[in-house]
Amino acid sequence: MSIEAKEERHALGHRMKRKEDPRFLQGQGRYVDDIAMPGMLYAAIARSPYPHATIKSIDISEAMKVPGVKAVITGKDLEAAGLGWLPTFHGYDKQMVLAIGKVLFQYQEVAAVFAETRGAAEDGAEAVQVEYEPLPVVADPFTSKKDEVILRPDREQKTNHIYHWEVGDKDGTARALESSAKRVSQRIWFQRCHPAPLEPCGCVAHFDTMGRLQFYVTSQAPHVYRTALALVTGIPEDKIHVVSPDIGGGFGNKVPVYPGYVCAVVGALKLGRPVKWIETRTENLTSTGFARDYHMDVELGADTNGRLTALRVSTAADHGAFDAAADPTKYPAGMFGVVTGSYDIPVAHAEVDAYFTNKAPGGIAYRCSFRVTEASYAIERAMDVLADELGLDPVELRRRNFIKKEQFPYPSALGFTYDSGDYHKTLDKALEMIGYPDLLKEQAEKRARGELMGIGISTFTEVVGAGPSKHFDILGIKMFDSAEIRIHPTGAGLVRAGTKSQGQGHETTWAQIVAEELGLDPQTIMVEEGDTDTAPYGLGTYASRSTPVAGAAIAVAARRVREKARKIAAHLLEVGEGDVEWKDYKFQVKGVPAKTVTMKEVAFAAYTNPGPNEPGLEATNYYDPPNMTFPHGTYIAVVDIDRETGEVKVRRFLAVDDCGTVINPLVVEGQIHGGLTEGFAIAFMQEIQYDRDGNNLNTNFTDYLVPTSLETPHWETGNTVTPSPHHPIGAKGVGESPNVGSPAAFVNAVVDALAPLGVRHIEMPVTREKVWRAIQGGKVA
């Protein structure tokens, strides 16, 4: 096929305008909060004002007097029914549905109220009277590790320590660091932040006339929810139907099963009426899963020429009162082992210790493939600290230590096998696009005038595509993914997948994969996902696993359809199957290019004239990837800082990504823009703060800032393409990359601007006040 023809097909993908699918509407609405059903009740949650307290009594009598209130349930009610605790997805912790005996974080769920209107339910929740006896608060992991106050007496181990995880050569790393000519260490904190999706979490639960649970929910993993609900409630899985309609953003926040979901199911079962629970923004920001809060001690060693000799990272992770992570069982600290980044480090050791604190549940992988964002930030900041120590340009230090193209597949010191990459090429393209020599010249001139200009670089490597069954599971379920493809007689088609889009453009991308493999019009390929009654079982959409795993399943299923179609094409062309080849999106007789049939013609024949072949044209595939995929990128930020106010202005930001084969450039561009905006917010404005008494100080969008178009920088983008050798179409995934790579570039740029004042490190979020204080003090902020 000609390059021009391929470009036209890509352009077609850009122009696609997916029509509203009426099957998403079917009376239940486009979003969960739009669903309306006869006799529907509303649920609201009464929450604790205390971060840590004994519950002495709960009085629901005043709540039951509120007009419209039909029922109130407490933790003791659920405990009596065997529903007091939720299993968490990683398998080594559990979470109270409603508080039993005591509360462990501010805004923890204490009672659920069901009423005729949302207002009545909220009034009823406010009327629930709880007598508390405050307990000592554990507000950080360093206090927690002392075990002076045990937060979770329900656990067999009477300690606040959740887990210890380590990987690498501990003794060899220690020896290599001791003998290194240069050695730097830095405490690097990645603050607690929140995904803050556009639509908060919510659900509608009702039991139909057949006694089957119909559950509409804002879930990134509908099939896993169905399994989890069966495990929690004891309802047989065939009696549970989960539908996840359009979701207004997920970013990891909509992976866990939350107490409100269980309460809605219990309410629907108890009252015999549909129940809707939709959380408020404050509830979303104070009680749903949080991300980061990693305190990382990083040590890097190097020789006198700047060649890395060793890396050691020791981390204390604050996971709040319950561990909300959905990390695979074998990886309690997720993919933190990618902390060696893009560099050929001979020996390394990483360890993570997680602790309970009196904060809301933590551990969510916010637009991050299981702790990769924390790992990338640690190594990219440490590289700049080392460059400062060596007196080297940070670009040159990275260039000297990159894994070379010919070293792939590359076995890292911490156990990953990187599939492919060309880091030098991506770096060189970024430097050329940004005009690096000119920026250095401009910076030197500004510094001579006392002006503060910084250039920050991040050359990150991601690890995505969680799925290889030998390593990955949730609740014991292997993290494969699935696809079912049906081609109708007219050549239109249907693809069903176990994923769940939250704005990633699956409706376009999945149709394009099928269309590319089968030579069909992508606008006639319908995409369905998010319905456990129709979609094949899959583990959902998070951690940039959709294209690396489900996209591969779709491609393989399409190729199976094509192989069946080849047999029918041979019948139509009156030749043997071995004489038919697929070329330029048609079947043709080898050596006789004029003798062809299209896939559309074959599709019609599959239902009208299949010959000796089985009728129909469809296939299903469950894809178990042999390895993860490893996208990478070079991000460069240019900032100017006002000496008088500490204001940081991001003048330019360039992101050059390599996500392997690009299916739809416009979709990729949108993913990058969105991720960069989130990375910008994390770097400069977002932190869920707690005071020493465990009070949440960021309960709304006045205190937890979300950037608007006025604050968001202009994004410049570019790309290189290094296909994954094991993926059917060479794709690697890109949704997480901009959030993984951008925070370090922003912070590196700010520190570079402040370097003439003696500043070596500054913690996120890089607020104006922090920068101003650093300017005044000329030291680490």
Could you list the active site residues? 220, 367-368, 736
Beta strand 240-243 with 213-217 is: parallel
Cis peptide before 409 (omega within 30 of 0): yes
Burial of 487 (0-12, 13-18, 19+ CB in 10 A): buried
CA distance 275 to 201: 14
User: 712: closest CA among 739, 740, 688, 684?
Assistant: 684
Query: Comparing C-alpha atoms, which of 675, 742, 736 is closest to residue 372?
Result: 736
Q: Which two tokens stand for residue 255?
A: 């992976």
Half-sphere exposure of 370 (CA within 13 A, CB side): 26
- What Cα–Cα distance (Å) separates residue 155 from each residue in 87, 94, 331? 13, 9, 21
Q: What are phi and psi of 780, to 5 degrees?
A: -60, 135
User: Do residues 121 and 264 lie in contact, with contact meaning Cβ atoms separated by under 8 Å?
Assistant: no
The β-bridge relationship of strands 53-59 and 129-134 is antiparallel
Task: Please report the DSSP string for 373-394 in residue order.
Answer: HHHHHHHHHHHHHHHHHHT--H
Asked if 761 and 649 count as a contact pair (C-beta separation under 8 A), the reply is no
State the amino acid at position 229 in one-letter form. L
Query: Which SS3 state, helix, strand or coil, does residue 126 take?
Result: helix
The DSSP code for 696 is B
Distance CA 725, CA 492 (A): 31
Which one-letter DSSP state was computed for residue 332? T
Q: Which residues lie below 8 Å from residue 437, measured CB to CB, with a gap of 6+?
A: none
SS (H, E, C) 220-283: CCHHHHHHHHHHHHCCCHHHEEEECCCCCCCCCCCCCCCHHHHHHHHHHHHHCCCEEEECCHHH
3-state SS class at 483? strand
**Alpha helices per DSSP H over 705-767:** 737-754
What letter does residue 634 receive in the DSSP assignment? E
For residue 354 the two structure tokens come to 């997680």
Q: Which two tokens stand for residue 152?
A: 């979770």
Q: Are 325 and 132 in contact (CB under 8 A)?
A: no
CA distance 429 to 401: 18
**Nearest alpha-carbon partner for 379 in 324, 337, 340:** 340
Q: Does the bond joining 765 to the residue before it have cis omega, within 30 degrees of 0? A: yes
* Cα dihedral: 510, 512, 515, 516 (round 10): -120
Which phi and psi angles does 531 have, rounded to 5°? Answer: -125, 115
CA torsion sign for 415, 416, 417, 422 is: negative
Please report how many Cα atoms fall inside a 13 Å half-sphere around the Cα of residue 74, on the Cβ side: 16
